[in-house]
Amino acid sequence: MIRLACRIATALLLLAPVAAPAAEAYPSKPLRVVITFPAGGPTDVVVRLIAQRLTDEWGYPVIIDNRGGAGGIIGTEIVARAAPDGYTFLVGTAGGMTINPALRPDLSYNPFRDFAPVGMLVVNPQILVAHPSLAARNVKELVALAKQKPGQLNFASAGSGTATHLGLELLKVTAGIDVVHVPYKGGAPAVTDLIGGQVQLLWVSIPSVLPHVKAGKLRALAVSTAKRSASAPDVPTVAESGYPGFEYSNWNALFAPAGTPQPRVRKINAQVVKALHDPAVAQRLSAQGADPAPGTPEELARYMRTDHERWKKVISAAGIKPQ
């Protein structure tokens, strides 16, 4: 009888479902975030601020890996080839994820195939500034002046194919004007020559010129984003100035390698959104000229597609070639 009872008990144990192992804690080790710019720049400052919040939340360090060079291609390729385990991420930009793919068909990565969107971090509104000698105090007056003097006005940029260049090309296409492009090797010399009156117009990041605007050395005409920027709330948008639908920005967003488990993508997204909603974080970002833009992975994917199509049209219309 005892032997029969033991056999029954053994059979029941064999038939009993095996308990699932405890879900693996995530994260359980340091995370790596690749930035495609050298340390110390605006993107670096923004990401380190958010990374510190994630470190504080989880107790594991978020390690920043600065991989500048080749217009962001080097750092982007590193993450495209990384293991999709939720421990390596890319801070993608408009240049690397939507402009370069529209400009360079020979890229070794495809932002829509090789990456899993995690979420937008910030948008960096650009501001259209003019030398005070230019007889235009807003976008409407600028367009009217450009149409009176086709090919006689000029604008500077930080280089051919950069966001500062494409922003004016977008305005040219939108408003139907003809102005001459003067490319520089970086934004700083372009700002210097604009202040000196050697060039007349420039799209540029707000913090780099706001002191000059306040001092009367430059005149602010508009900001590039759909909404006014917290960094320059008195400056109207181009859309407000008579061109609804005009929008562009330098933006930063978080991406993981394609194939990263969605539960991990969602967990990172939730923590980033939480950090971006913190008023103290928003205030510090605003000081950098960056507007927090928390959102879902799906919203980032849709925005990328829209941004990519925007720049494809502009690049084709302007006949821009990679340098």
Which residues constitute the domain of residue 97? 31-124+249-318
Predicted pLDDT at 50: 92
Q: pLDDT under 70 in the chain at which residues?
A: 1-23, 323
User: Do 105 and 178 fall within a single domain?
Assistant: no
User: Do 282 and 303 fall within a single domain?
Assistant: yes
Q: Looking at the domain assignment, is residue 70 inside a domain?
A: yes
For residue 158, give the 3-state DSSP assignment. coil
Strand ranges (E), the chain: 31-35, 62-66, 88-93, 115-124, 126-130, 154-157, 180-183, 201-205, 219-223, 250-257, 291-292
Residue 194 parent element (H or E): helix 187-196
User: Do 137 and 194 fall within a single domain?
Assistant: yes
Predicted pLDDT at 123: 93
What tens digit of pLDDT does each residue of 176-234 get? Answer: 999 999 999 888 999 999 999 999 999 999 999 999 999 999 999 999 999 999 889 99
User: Do 133 and 215 fall within a single domain?
Assistant: yes
Predicted pLDDT at 320: 87
Predicted pLDDT at 21: 39
Q: Looking at the domain assignment, is residue 155 inside a domain?
A: yes
User: Do 108 and 146 fall within a single domain?
Assistant: no
User: Do 135 and 203 fall within a single domain?
Assistant: yes
- Between CA 145 and CA 178, with CA 187 as vertex, the angle to 5 degrees is 25
Q: At what angle do helices 279-287 and 262-276 cross, to 10 degrees?
A: 80
Question: What's the domain count of the chain?
Answer: 2
Check the CA dihedral 45-51-55-57 and report its sign. positive
- The Cα–Cα gap between 199 and 179 comes to 11
Q: Looking at the domain assignment, is residue 6 inside a domain?
A: no
Q: Looking at the domain assignment, is residue 9 inside a domain?
A: no
- Between CA 137 and CA 144, with CA 139 as vertex, the angle to 5 degrees is 90
What tens digit of pLDDT does each residue of 255-287 get? Answer: 999 999 999 999 999 999 999 999 999 888 888
For residue 55, give the 3-state DSSP assignment. helix
Predicted pLDDT at 289: 86
CA distances from 110 to 96, 107, 276 (A): 10, 7, 28
- What is residue 237's DSSP assignment? B
Domain boundary among 164, 188, 223: 223
Check the CA dihedral 314-245-292-54 and report its sign. negative
Domain boundary among 207, 223, 239: 223
Q: Looking at the domain assignment, is residue 160 inside a domain?
A: yes
User: Do 132 and 166 fall within a single domain?
Assistant: yes
The domain spanning residue 163 has which CATH number?
Answer: 3.40.190.10
User: Do 115 and 166 fall within a single domain?
Assistant: no
Residue 170 parent element (H or E): helix 163-175
User: Do 118 and 255 fall within a single domain?
Assistant: yes
Predicted pLDDT at 206: 92
Predicted pLDDT at 10: 46
**In sequence order, what are the residues at sequence separation of 6 or more whose Cβ sits closer than 8 angstroms to the Cβ of residue 162?**
95
**Number of H helices and number of E strands within the chain?**
12, 11
The residue type of 15 is L
User: Do 114 and 174 fall within a single domain?
Assistant: no
Contact between residue 192 and residue 163 where contact means Cβ atoms under 8 Å apart: no
The domain spanning residue 39 has which CATH number?
Answer: 3.40.190.150
pTM here is: 0.86
User: Do 134 and 172 fall within a single domain?
Assistant: yes
User: Do 69 and 133 fall within a single domain?
Assistant: no
Strands of the sheet with 201-205, listed across from one edge: 180-183, 154-157, 201-205, 126-130, 219-223
